[in-house]
Structure 1
Amino acid sequence: MEFGFTQEDDAFRREARAWLKTHLVGEFAEAAGHGGPGSEHEGADIRRAWERELGAAGWIGLGWADSAYGNRTATLTQQVVWAEEYARAKAPARYGHIGENLLAPTLIAYGTEEQKRRFLPPIARGETLWCQGYSEPGAGSDLAGVRTTARREDDGSTYRVTGQKIWTSLAHDADWCFVLARTDPDSQRHHGLSFLLVPMDQPGRIEVRPITQLTGTSEFNEVFFDGAEAAAADVVGGPGNGWSVAMGLLALERGVSTLVQQIGFAEELSGVVREAVASGAAADDPVLRDRLVRQWAELRTMRWNALRTLGSSGQGESQGQVVGAPSVAKLLWGGWHQRLGELALAVRGPAATVGPYDWSERSAYELDAWQRLFLFTRADTVYGGSDEIQRNIIAERVLGLPKEPKGGVR
C-alpha cells in the first residue's frame, strides 16, 4: 500500500489543528508535555479533565469501526494525522489510552452487544479509566502461568476473583480493570482462563499498592484481589476463552499507537541533539556524532516499518495485524529507546550523574528529564513482553522454528 495523505486528510488535519489550538488553553496548556513514561504522576487531575474535553468533541475512539458510541471514526491516515497534530501541539500525555486503545478494540472484536453498549460510551466520553490485570509475580512474560482465580458463585451471576497482579499501570486511579484469571481450577497453562471486567471500587476486596521505581515515581502498582466481584455478564469472549481474547488484545496493542509513540521519541531525540549542540559535545566527539546520526536513522527506519505494517494487506494476517509485526515493533523500539536514554547521559558527560541536593534538609534531589529518561528506559526491553519472549514469538510463529524445550536446553 502506498501510504500517503489525501485532500480529505489535509482537511482533517486543519480541523484537528484548529480544535487543539482552541481547546489547549489555560490549565490544559499548563499540562502540556506532562505525563510521559516515568512521569505518569504529573497533572493527573488535569489530564483526566482533558480526557473529558477530548471525549466531548468525539476525539476518543477514532480507530473504532463504529461511531455509535459517541466517538468519531477516522480512516487510518486520518488517525495518523490526529496523532501527528496532537504531538505537534504538545498536548498532555493521554490518561485513558488503556481503555481506548486496548480494551475498546478487544470489546469490538470479542464482546457482546450489551458489553459494547455498556462500556464503550463512557470510554468515548473520557469518563472511565481502565487498567490491565495481566502480569503476576512468576507470570510476567510467561502469561499462561497466571494463578489468579475466579470462582463462579452458585447462582451463576457472579465470579469471585482472588490473586495478585503486578506492574499494573495507573491502577491507583483506574475505575475498572480487565483481568485474566483462571476460571477452571483443573486447567493448566493457557486452558481454562477467562477475561473478566472487574470494578476497582471494592474496598476490602481490592487493594492497590504503588511500586516505587528507580525514577522515584509510582505509575506501576501491585493489585491484590480478595474475593473481588465480577459479573458473569462481564466475561469477554465467554468463560474459558480468555487466552484467545488476551492474545487478540496484545495483537491489537501496537497499531497507530506505534506511530504516536515514535512522534514522542522524535521529540526526545531532538532534545538530546539540541543538548549536544549547545554543550559542544557533538562538535568535539566524532563517536558521539555517529551515535546521534545512527539514532536518527533507526527512528526513521522504525517509522517506515510501522507505516508498511499498517498499510499491508493480504496473506499472513491475524486480527488485522501482520503475524509477528507487533513483536518486531517491540524489539525495535525497546532497544532504540533504551539506547536513547544512554545517549542522553553521554551527551551531558559527568554532569549527568549529579543533581541539586539540599544539604540543610538532607533531601534527595529531583531527577531532571534526561536522568529520568535513562532510568525509566532500563525497563523498556522487559515490560510489555521481554525481548527474549518477542524473539521466541518471531522464531516460532513467523519462521516456523521448533519451540523451546520445556525446562531449557539440556
Structure 2
Amino acid sequence: MIDFWLAAGLLLLVALSFLLIPVLRNRRAQLEEDRTALNVALYQERVAELETQQEEGVLDAAQMDAGRAEAARELLADTEGVAAPRVTRLGKPAPLLAAILVPVLGLGLYLHFGASDKVELTREFSQAPQSMEEMTQRLERAVAAQPDSAEALYFLGRTYMTQDRPADAAKIFERTVNIAGRQPELLGQWAQAQYFADGKKWSDKIQALTDEALKADPKEVTSLGLLGIAAFEAERYQDAIDYWNRLLEQLPPEDKSRIALQGGITRAKEKLVASGGKVAEAPVAKVAALLKVRVDLAADLKAKVQPGDSVFIFARATNGPPAPLAAKRLTVADLPATVELGDADAMMPQLKLSNFPEVQLVARISRAGKPTAGEWIGRSQPLASSTTAPQKLTIDSPDK
C-alpha cells in the first residue's frame, strides 16, 4: 500500500507543478514591471530637472535637447528585453488556492469513491496466508468490500465450516443462494451447515433444501452425504446405506474420501444386522448395449451407386417392434466405415438396445434418402444385444 501512496504523491507533485510554475513566472514578470516603472519615473524626474535648468537660463535649447535624448537612451537601455505585461483575470490568489484545494478534493473523493480497501486485499491475496485465521480475516474483508460477490461468500462459508462455525456458515450460504440462485450445490452446502448449526436435528427446512437440490441434480454429493448421515443418526441404517452407495458412485476412484465412506457403509450394515434387520441388495445396474459394426459395399455394386447416396445403418429387435432401436446415417462416399450403435442412439427412450436380448443389424442404401426404402441392402444374422465383438456388414443385395 505504501508504494501506491508514493506513486500518488509523485503524480500530485507533477500536477502541482503545472499550477505553481505559472505563479512563479508571474511573480518574476511583476518584478520586471516594477523595475520598468521605476526607470520611467527616473526619466521623468531627469526631464523635469532639465526643464528647470532651461528656465533658469543654465541650459540653452540645444543642451536641453541633448539632455532629453541622453535620458531617453538610458530609459531604453534599462527597459530592453522586458516582456510585455500580462493581463490575468484570476489574480494571484486563485492558482495558489487551486494548488491547495485540488489535492485535498482529490484525496477526499478517492477515500469516498475509491477502492483502496480492494487494492489492499488484492495485495494481501497475492501472498499465501500464514494461518487459517488470517485467511478467514481476508475473506471477511473481501465480503465486506464486495457484498454481492457470490464467490467470496461461498469460500467464506466453506472456511467457516472447516472452523466448526456452522451457524455462521449457514447464514453465509443463505446469502450466497440469494445472490447466485438456487443452485443444487449451494442448496446442499446450506442444508449441511444448517443441520450442524441445529445440533444435528433434522427439520422440515433441511428436508426441503435437500429435496430441492436432488430434484435439480440427483447426483448432488453434499445432499446425498448429508441424508446418509441423518439416516444413520436416526438409526435408519438401510436408508443410510442407500444414500451413501449413491454418493460412492459419484466419487472418482482416486478420491480419498471413498475409504471413509465405505467404512460408514460397513458400520451401517453391521448396525442393521445387529438390530435384526437384513441388508437389501442393491439392484444390479443394467449394462448399456453398444454394438460396433464395420459396413462395406460389395464389389459388384460400387459401379452402380453414387457417392451422395444415403446409407442408413440401424439395429432392430429380432422379436419386437419393427421400428429401428438405434440408427446412424452416412453416405456411400464414407464407406467403408465403422460405426457404433448403442442405447445413446435410441430412437425412443423406451426402445433401447439393452431392452431386447436379440437384434439384427441392417444397412440400406437409399438414393431418395428414405430410411424405410432403398435400392440395396445388407443384413446380419441375429445376435445378442450384449455382443461386444466387432461385427461386419456388407451391402450386397437388392432391397425388395
Query: Shorter-chain TM-score: what band?
Result: under 0.3
After TM superposition, the score normalised by the length of structure 2 is: 0.20
After TM superposition, the score normalised by the length of structure 1 is: 0.20
The structure with more radius of gyration: 2
Larger helix fraction of residues: 2
Relative contact order higher in (CA < 8 Å, ≥ 6 apart): 1
